Amino acid sequence: MALRSGLEAKILIIGCGISGIGAAQKLIKHGFHNVRIIEATSRSGGRIKTGRLGCNIVEIGANWIHGPSQENPVFRLACHYQLLDKEAMSEENQSVDIGGHPPFVANCFTSSGREIDPETLGPAMELYTTVLGKCQDFYSSGEEPLPSVGEFLKKESIRMAHEEWKVDPGTMELRLALLTTLLKLECSISGTHTMTDVGLGAFGMYKTLPGLDCTFPGGYEGLIQHMMSELPKDIVLYNKPVKCIHWKNTHNQPTSKGRTCPVKVECVNEETFEADHVIVTIPLGYLKKHQHTLLSPPLSLKKLHSIQRMGFGTNNKIFLEFEQPFWDENCKIIFFLWEDESDLVDVVSDVKMAWTRKLIAFTVVTPKERFGHLLCGWIAGHESEYMETLSEYEVLHAVTQLIRRFTGNPTVAPKRLLRSQWLSDPYTCGSYSYVATGCSGYDIDTLAEPLPLVGSDAAEPLQVLFAGEATDRSFFSTVHGALITGWREADRLISHYSPLSGELTSKL
Ligand code: 6YU
Q: Choose among 142, 260, 145: nearest CA to 205.
A: 142
pLDDT of residue 249: 80
Residue nearest atom 37 of ligand 1, based on CA coordinates: 61
CA 61 to CA 221: how far, in whole Å?
10
pLDDT of residue 131: 98
CA 309 to CA 303: how far, in whole Å?
10
- In Å, what is the CA distance from 12 to each residue of 358, 379, 441, 475? 41, 36, 27, 25
CA 224 to CA 20: how far, in whole Å?
11
Q: Is there an atom of ligand 1 within 6 Å of 73 CB?
A: no
pLDDT of residue 127: 97
CA 146 to CA 275: how far, in whole Å?
46
Cα of 64 to ligand 1 centre, how many Å? 12
Q: Give the total residue count for the chain.
A: 508
Residue nearest atom 8 of ligand 1, based on CA coordinates: 62
What order of strands is seen across the sheet that includes strand 333-337?
115-116, 106-110, 333-337, 361-365, 373-380, 315-322, 416-419
Q: Is there an atom of ligand 1 within 6 Å of 59 CB?
A: no
Asked whether the beta carbons of 433 and 469 are under 8 A apart, the reply is: yes
CA 396 to CA 419: how far, in whole Å?
10
pLDDT of residue 256: 58
- In Å, what is the CA distance from 223 to each residue of 38, 52, 63, 470? 20, 17, 12, 21
Cα of 262 to ligand 1 centre, how many Å? 30
- DSSP, collapsed to helix, strand or coil, labels residue 10 as coil
Mean pLDDT by 10 residues, the chain (508 residues): 77 98 98 97 98 95 97 98 96 83 82 93 95 97 96 98 96 96 98 98 97 96 98 97 92 64 96 97 98 96 97 98 96 97 96 97 94 97 98 98 98 97 98 97 98 81 97 98 98 86 41
Q: Is there an atom of ligand 1 within 6 Å of 19 CB?
A: yes
- Residue 502, amino acid: G
Residue nearest atom 41 of ligand 1, based on CA coordinates: 478
Cα of 405 to ligand 1 centre, how many Å? 34
Asked whether the beta carbons of 388 and 421 are under 8 A apart, the reply is: yes
Which tens digit of pLDDT belongs to each residue from 24-57?
999 999 999 999 999 999 999 999 999 999 999 9
pLDDT of residue 458: 67
Which tens digit of pLDDT belongs to each residue from 139-193?
999 999 999 999 999 999 999 999 999 999 999 999 999 999 999 999 999 999 9
Residue nearest atom 31 of ligand 1, based on CA coordinates: 478
CA 207 to CA 255: how far, in whole Å?
45
CA 156 to CA 127: how far, in whole Å?
10
CA 361 to CA 384: how far, in whole Å?
13
The number of the ligand 1 atom at minimal distance from the alpha carbon of 286 is 23
Q: Is there an atom of ligand 1 within 6 Å of 215 CB?
A: no
Cα of 497 to ligand 1 centre, how many Å? 30
- Residue 277, amino acid: H
The number of the ligand 1 atom at minimal distance from the alpha carbon of 486 is 51
Cα of 432 to ligand 1 centre, how many Å? 6
Q: Choose among 405, 414, 330: nearest CA to 377.
A: 414
- In Å, what is the CA distance from 388 to each residue of 188, 315, 404? 15, 11, 22
Q: Is there an atom of ligand 1 within 6 Å of 283 CB?
A: yes
Residue nearest atom 56 of ligand 1, based on CA coordinates: 190
Query: Which regions of 90-153 does DSSP assign to beta strands (E)?
Result: 106-110, 115-116
pLDDT of residue 96: 87
pLDDT of residue 418: 98
- Residue 500, amino acid: L
Q: Choose among 330, 328, 416, 419: nearest CA to 374.
A: 416
Rounded to a whole number, what is the largest CA-CA distance in the chain? 83
- Pick from 47, 72, 134 the residue to mutate for probing ligand 1's pocket: most ligand atoms within 8 Å of its CB: 47
Residue nearest atom 12 of ligand 1, based on CA coordinates: 17
CA 200 to CA 194: how far, in whole Å?
13
The number of the ligand 1 atom at minimal distance from the alpha carbon of 43 is 17
Domains detected in the chain? 6-46+217-310+436-505 (3.50.50.60), 101-207+315-419 (3.90.660.10)
Cα of 223 to ligand 1 centre, how many Å? 14
